[in-house]
C-alpha cells in the first residue's frame, strides 16, 4: 500500500516541480539571492505530506527526497504554519534520523502529535537508542544497524556518506566493550597524526567519565624494553603500528578498526596498511575486524582483500545531512556570479549576483565567492597546498570586516603561534580578522588551537588542504572549492571529492550543508557527475594489475633506481611479495590479487632471483617493509666493505652519536649521506649537510623559531614566508617521515652487520635515532612528556622547568600531577595541552 502510494507520488511531474521549487527557494533565501522562486503554503504542506510517505519507502533516492523536503521546510521560518512542525517530526522519525531533530528546535520540541503517531515514534526511537555510560544516545537507522552487527561480534565493513556518523558508533562500541570488561586490547588505525589526536581525545573523554582506571591509551610506538599494557586502546597510523609490531612481535588485538580504510589504495602506505592488518589476522584470526570508509560501492571488497569470508557489509546511501551542490560561474563578461543548483535531473538557475570585478585567478574566485556566501555560517575553503592555503587566507583577511584583535581567545592563540612557530607567521595576521588556515605540517598544538577556535565560532573562515580528506572533522556549514587537487597528485578523484563534500553540514546541528563548486564546467575532471559511490582496490592489487612489469624489473635490476614516490610504491609491492615468498604465502596473495597464471611464472622467477641476491635475514628486512630488500642488501654490502677496508676508524665514522654530543652533526651528516647514496640512489651535493643541521636542532628539542632561523642562515636567498613553510615541510615530510624511515633501516642493517663482523659491542652505543626524529627530542624527560601526549612545544618548556632530564613516563606523570600548572604555564592553551595529556594518562 505504502509503496503504491509512493509510486504515485514519485511518478507525478507536479510533485517534482514543487520539490525543485522548494529547494531552490530555500537556497535563494540561504544565499541572499533575490527571490524568484516561491512555494505557497498549500504546496509546501503537500510536499511535506508527500515526504511522510516517501520516508517509508525502501528506495534510497526517495528517502533522500523526503529528507531534502523536510530540511528545506524546516529552514523557511514558517513555524506558525499549522501542523508543519508535527509533519516534519513525523518525516524525520520515519526516516529514523533522530539526531537530526536537534537541528530544528521548533520540530524537536513539538509535542502535539496524534497518540498513535507519538507511540510509533517512541517505539522507533527506543529501538534506535543505546546506552553509553550514564547517557542514552538516539541513533539513526544506519547507526543502529551498524551497532547491532558490532555488538553481535561480527567482522564488519562499513560504507556510508561522510556525515553519517560512522566514527561516532565505532568509538561508542569500544566504550561499551571497555565498560563491560569484554575488551583487553583494541587497535584503531587512522591515516594521519591529526586523526590520532582527534580519536585519542574522544576516547580519553569517555575513559575518564567511566573511570576505566586500568585502560591505557597508546598513540606512539613503544620501544622493545617497554612492557605492553595488558588493557589498552592503541590509536595509531599504520607506520606507528608497524613499529610497535616490529619491537613487540607478540602484539595482538581483540578488536581492530581501520577507519578511513579506503587508504588501502594509497601506494606504499596502502601496501603497509594491508600488511599490518594481514599480520594481525594471522596472529589472532578470532579477533573482530572492522573496516570503515565513505561511499564505498562494494564494502565486501575488504572481505576479499583480507580473505575474511564472514565479513558483514553495513552500508547506507541515505543522507544524515544533505549536501547541496551549488555551481558558481565567475566568468560572465558582465562581472556577475551566475548561481546554479545541481540536481539529479539537471541544473536549476537560482540567480545572478553582482561582483563588480573580473576574477582571473583561483585565489580571487575563492576569496570573493566565499566572502559573498560564507559570512553568516562557519565556512571551509579548500586549497590545493600549504602555499595556496596561506595565500587564500591572506586574501580573505584583506576583504574581511571582522576585528578579532581584542578577543582574549584569539590573542592567546596568536601569542602561542608567535612562540611555537614564528612571530611573523602569516597566521597571526589572519586570525586578527577571524580567518585561519590549517594544513598537516603545522605544529599539533597550533592546529588544535585553530580547530577549537573554528569550532567555537572565533574563526569564521578556515582555509585547509587535503588534511580535510583524511577524515579530520571540522564543524562547517559551507565548503568552497575551485579546481581542487590533492597537492601535486592531480585533480581530486571521485572518492576524494565526495569525502571532501561530506564535510559540509553537521549531523545534529544543520539539516544541510552547501558545497560551492566554482567554475565547475572548467574543472579538469567532473567528480560530482559520477555519483558518490566509489570502487576500492588495494594498492597491492592495482600495482600487480597495471605495473607488474615494473615489479619484475625492480626485482632483477642490478642497481636500484632513484627512489622517487612512484618507485617506492612499486618497491613496497616487491617487498611484500618477497616476504610472502619466504613465508609460503605468495600463492595466496597472488590469488587474492587476481594475478593471471601466465604472469605468475615470470614474477616468481624474478622474486627467486632477487632472493638469491639477499643474505639479510627476514626479521631484519621486516623492520623496514617499505624499503626495497635489494636496497637494504646494498646497504649491508656497503657496511661490510667499508668496515673491512677502513677498519675500526671507518666503522666508528658510520655510527651516529647522541644529538647532545658535540660532534653529533658531523656523524649525522655521514649517516644521511650514506642513506642518500645507498638507499635512495640520490646524488644532491650538500643536501645531507643541511638536513643534518635541521634534524639535529629538531632532536635537541629546539623550538621552531630557532630551526627556521637555521634554515634562513643556510638559505639566505629564501624569503621569510617560504622559509617558514619549507621548514615545516622539512620537519613533517622529510625528518619525521623520510629520514625516520631511512634511519630505521640504517640502524637495523647496521646492527646486523656489526654482529656479523664481530663488533656487536658497539650496538649498545647506538642512539635510538628514529625515535628522536619522530618525537623531536632526545632528553628522556622531554621524550616522556611527549609520550604522555603533550605537544612538543609544551614538552620542551616543561623540560626546562625541571632539573631531572632523565625521567621516565611514570616519573614525569607524577611530577606533572604535583605541579601548579596555573602558576607554571601562563598560556591557557598550554595548560589545556597538559590537561588533555593528564586526561589521557592512566587514572591513579
pLDDT digits 0-9 by tens, 109-126: 777 777 777 787 788 888
What is the average pLDDT value for the chain, to the nearest integer?
90
Residue 220, pLDDT score: 84
Measured CA angle at 392 (ends 262, 465), to 5 deg:
15
Q: What is the mean pLDDT of residues 342-355?
A: 88
Beta-carbon contacts of 320 under 8 Å, excluding residues fewer than 6 positions away, are 97, 99, 100, 140, 142, 160, 161, 163, 164, 165, 507
C-alpha distances out from residue 422 to 404, 671, 797, Å: 20, 30, 16
pLDDT digits 0-9 by tens, 270-281: 999 999 999 999
Tell me: pLDDT of 1 over 90: no
Q: What is the mean pLDDT of residues 821-831?
A: 90
Q: What is the mean pLDDT of residues 663-690?
A: 96
- Which of 278-282, 396-400, 692-696, 834-838 has the weakest average pLDDT? 834-838
- Which of 374-383, 526-535, 703-712, 808-817 has the weakest average pLDDT? 526-535
Residue 426, pLDDT score: 96
Residue 794, pLDDT score: 95
For residues 339 and 327, is the Cβ–Cβ distance under 8 A? yes
For residues 824 and 801, is the Cβ–Cβ distance under 8 A? yes
Distance CA 532, CA 493 (A): 11
Residue 503, pLDDT score: 84
Residue 797, pLDDT score: 94
pLDDT digits 0-9 by tens, 459-490: 999 999 987 776 667 778 999 999 999 877 78
Tell me: pLDDT of 844 over 70: no
Distance CA 147, CA 96 (A): 14
Work out the pLDDT band at 814, boundaries 50, 70, 90: very high
Closest among 46, 128, 148, 144 to 87, alpha carbons compared = 46
pLDDT more than 90, % of the chain: 62
Residue 393, pLDDT score: 97
Residue 688, pLDDT score: 95
Work out the pLDDT band at 541, boundaries 50, 70, 90: very high
3-state secondary structure of 477: coil
Q: Name the phi and psi angles at 37, rounded to 5.
A: -110, 145
Q: What is the mean pLDDT of residues 385-401?
A: 95
Residue 782, pLDDT score: 96
Distance CA 93, CA 139 (A): 11
Tell me: pLDDT of 133 over 70: no
Residue 80, pLDDT score: 65
Q: Which residues of 604-620 are buried (b: 16+ CB within 10 A; e: fewer)?
A: bebbeebeeebebeeeb
Q: CB pairs under 8 A, 24+ apart, for 764-770?
A: 765/655, 766/655, 766/656, 767/656, 767/657, 767/658, 767/659, 768/223, 769/656, 769/671, 769/743, 770/740, 770/743, 770/744
Q: What are the grid coordinates assigned to 711, written together?
A: 634554515
pLDDT digits 0-9 by tens, 683-695: 999 999 999 999 9
Work out the pLDDT band at 222, boundaries 50, 70, 90: confident
pLDDT digits 0-9 by tens, 3-17: 888 989 998 899 988
Work out the pLDDT band at 82, boundaries 50, 70, 90: low
pLDDT digits 0-9 by tens, 279-302: 999 999 999 999 999 889 999 999
pLDDT digits 0-9 by tens, 732-790: 999 999 999 999 999 999 999 999 999 999 999 999 999 999 999 999 999 999 988 89
Q: What is the mean pLDDT of residues 539-556?
A: 94
Q: What are the grid coordinates assigned to 782, written together?
A: 622531554
Q: What is the mean pLDDT of residues 646-660?
A: 95
Q: What is the mean pLDDT of residues 139-162?
A: 92
Work out the pLDDT band at 224, boundaries 50, 70, 90: confident
Q: What is the mean pLDDT of residues 370-398?
A: 94
pLDDT digits 0-9 by tens, 46-67: 888 898 899 888 888 898 888 8
3-state secondary structure of 629: helix
Work out the pLDDT band at 843, boundaries 50, 70, 90: low
Q: What is the mean pLDDT of residues 663-676?
A: 97
Residue 31, pLDDT score: 92
Distance CA 45, CA 76 (A): 12
Beta-carbon contacts of 554 under 8 Å, excluding residues fewer than 6 positions away, are 560, 561, 567, 570, 571, 574, 628, 630
Q: Name the phi and psi angles at 323, rounded to 5.
A: -105, 120
Tell me: pLDDT of 807 over 80: yes
pLDDT digits 0-9 by tens, 334-344: 889 999 999 87
pLDDT digits 0-9 by tens, 636-652: 999 999 999 999 999 99
Distance CA 790, CA 839 (A): 11
Amino acid at each position: 500500500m505504502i509503496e503504491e502510494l509512493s509510486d504515485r507520488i514519485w511518478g507525478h511531474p507536479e510533485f517534482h516541480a514543487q520539490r525543485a521549487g522548494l529547494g531552490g527557494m530555500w537556497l535563494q533565501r540561504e544565499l541572499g539571492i533575490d527571490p524568484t522562486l516561491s512555494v505557497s503554503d498549500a504546496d509546501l504542506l503537500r510536499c511535506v505530506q508527500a515526504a511522510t510517505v516517501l520516508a517509508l519507502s525502501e528506495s534510497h533516492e526517495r528517502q533522500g527526497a523526503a529528507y531534502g523536503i523536510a530540511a528545506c521546510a524546516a529552514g523557511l521560518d514558517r513555524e506558525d504554519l499549522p501542523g508543519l512542525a508535527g509533519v516534519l517530526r513525523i518525516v524525520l522519525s520515519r526516516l529514523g534520523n533522530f539526531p537530526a531533530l536537534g537541528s530544528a528546535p521548533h520540530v524537536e520540541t513539538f509535542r502535539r502529535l496524534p497518540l498513535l503517531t507519538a507511540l510509533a515514534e517512541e517505539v522507533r526511537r527506543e529501538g534506535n537508542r543505546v546506552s553509553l555510560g550514564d547517557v542514552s544516545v538516539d541513533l539513526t537507522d544506519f547507526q543502529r544497524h551498524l551497532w547491532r552487527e558490532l555488538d553481535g561480534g561480527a567482522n564488519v565493513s562499513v560504507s556510508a556518506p561522510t556525515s553519517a556518523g560512522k566514527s561516532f558508533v565505532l568509538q561508542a562500541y569500544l566504550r561499551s566493550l571497555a565498560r563491560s570488561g569484554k575488551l583487553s586490547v583494541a587497535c584503531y588505525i587512522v591515516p594521519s597524526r591529526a586523526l590520532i589526536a582527534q580519536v585519542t581525545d574522544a576516547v580519553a573523554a569517555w575513559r575518564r567519565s567511566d573511570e576505566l582506571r586500568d585502560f591505557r591509551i597508546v598513540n606512539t610506538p613503544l620501544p622493545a624494553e617497554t612492557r605492553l599494557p595488558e588493557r589498552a586502546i592503541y590509536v595509531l597510523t599504520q607506520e606507528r603500528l608497524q613499529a610497535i609490531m616490529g619491537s613487540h612481535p607478540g602484539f595482538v588485538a581483540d578488536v581492530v578498526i581501520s577507519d578511513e580504510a579506503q587508504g588501502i589504495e594509497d601506494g606504499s602506505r596502502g601496501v603497509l596498511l594491508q600488511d599490518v592488518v594481514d599480520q594481525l589476522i594471522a596472529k589472532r584470526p578470532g579477533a573482530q575486524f572492522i573496516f570503515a570508509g565513505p561511499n564505498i560501492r562494494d564494502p565486501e571488497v575488504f572481505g576479499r582483500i583480507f580473505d575474511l569470508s564472514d565479513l558483514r557489509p553495513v552500508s547506507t546511501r541515505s543522507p544524515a545531512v544533505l549536501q547541496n551542490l551549488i555551481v558558481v560561474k565567475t566568468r560572465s563578461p558582465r562581472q556577475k556570479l551566475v548561481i546554479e543548483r545541481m540536481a539529479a535531473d539537471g541544473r536549476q538557475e537560482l540567480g545572478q549576483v553582482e561582483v563588480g570585478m573580473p576574477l582571473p585567478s583561483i585565489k580571487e574566485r575563492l576569496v570573493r565567492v566565499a566572502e559573498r556566501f560564507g559570512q553568516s555560517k562557519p565556512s571551509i575553503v579548500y586549497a590545493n597546498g600549504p602555499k595556496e592555503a596561506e595565500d587564500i587566507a591572506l586574501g580573505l583577511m584583506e576583504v574581511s570586516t571582522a576585528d578579532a584583535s581584542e578577543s582574549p581567545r584569539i590573542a592567546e592563540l596568536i601569542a602561542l603561534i608567535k612562540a611555537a612557530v614564528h612571530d611573523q607567521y602569516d597566521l597571526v595576521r589572519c586570525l586578527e580578522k577571524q580567518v585561519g588556515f590549517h594544513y598537516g605540517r603545522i605544529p599539533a598544538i597550533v592546529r588544535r588551537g585553530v580547530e577549537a577556535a573554528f569550532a567555537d565560532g572565533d574563526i569564521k573562515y578556515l582555509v585547509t588542504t587535503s588534511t580535510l580528506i583524511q577524515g579530520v572533522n571540522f564543524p562547517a556549514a559551507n565548503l568552497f572549492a575551485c579546481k581542487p587537487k590533492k597537492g601535486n597528485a592531480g585533480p581530486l578523484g571521485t572518492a576524494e571529492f565526495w569525502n571532501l563534500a561530506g564535510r559540509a553540514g553537521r549531523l545534529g546541528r544543520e539539516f544541510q550543508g552547501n558545497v560551492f563548486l566554482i567554475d565547475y564546467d572548467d574543472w579538469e575532471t567532473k567528480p560530482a557527475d559520477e555519483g558518490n559511490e566509489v570502487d576500492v582496490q588495494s594498492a597491492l592489487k592495482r600495482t600487480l594489475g597495471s605495473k607488474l612489469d615494473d615489479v619484475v624489473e625492480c626485482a632483477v635490476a642490478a642497481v636500484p633506481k632513484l627512489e622517487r614516490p612512484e618507485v617506492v610504491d612499486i618497491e613496497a609491492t616487491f617487498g611484500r611479495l618477497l616476504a610472502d615468498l619466504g613465508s609460503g604465502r605468495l600463492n595466496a596473495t597472488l590469488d587474492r590479487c587476481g594475478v593471471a597464471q601466465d604472469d605468475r611464472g615470470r614474477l616468481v622467477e624474478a622474486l627467486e632471483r632477487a632472493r638469491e641476491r639477499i643474505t639479510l635475514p627476514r626479521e631484519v628486512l621486516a623492520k623496514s617493509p617499505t624499503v626495497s630488500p635489494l636496497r637494504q642488501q646494498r646497504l649491508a654490502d656497503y657496511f661490510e666493505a667499508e668496515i673491512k677496508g677502513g677498519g675500526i676508524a671507518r666503522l666508528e665514522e658510520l655510527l651516529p652519536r647522541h644529538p647532545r654530543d658535540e660532534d653529533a652533526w658531523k656523524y649525522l651528516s655521514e649517516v644521511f649521506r650514506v642513506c642518500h647514496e645507498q638507499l635512495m640512489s640520490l646524488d644532491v651535493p650538500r643536501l645531507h649537510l643541511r638536513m643534518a643541521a635541521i634534524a639535529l636542532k629538531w632532536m635537541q628539542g629546539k623550538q621552531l623559531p630557532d630551526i627556521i632561523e637555521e634554515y634562513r642562515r643556510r638559505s639566505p636567498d629564501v624569503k621569510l614566508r617560504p622559509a617558514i613553510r619549507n621548514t615545516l615541510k622539512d620537519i613533517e615530510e622529510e625528518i619525521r617521515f623520510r629520514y625516520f624511515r631511512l634511519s630505521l633501516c640504517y640502524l637495523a642493517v647496521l646492527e646486523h652487520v656489526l654482529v656479523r663482523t664481530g663488533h656487536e659491542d658497539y650496538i649498545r652505543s647506538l642512539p635510538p635515532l628514529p625515535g628522536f626524529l619522530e618525537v623531536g627530542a632526545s632528553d628522556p624527560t622531554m621524550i616522556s612528556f611527549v609520550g604522555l601526549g603533550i605537544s612538543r612545544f609544551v614538552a620542551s618548556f616543561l623540560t626546562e622547568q625541571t632539573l631531572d632530564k632523565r625521567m621516565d613516563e611514570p616519573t614525569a606523570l607524577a611530577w606533572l600531577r604535583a605541579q601548579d600548572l596555573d602558576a607554571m604555564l601562563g598560556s591557557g592553551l598550554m595548560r589545556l595541552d597538559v590537561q588533555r595529556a593528564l586526561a589521557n594518562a592512566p587514572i591513579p
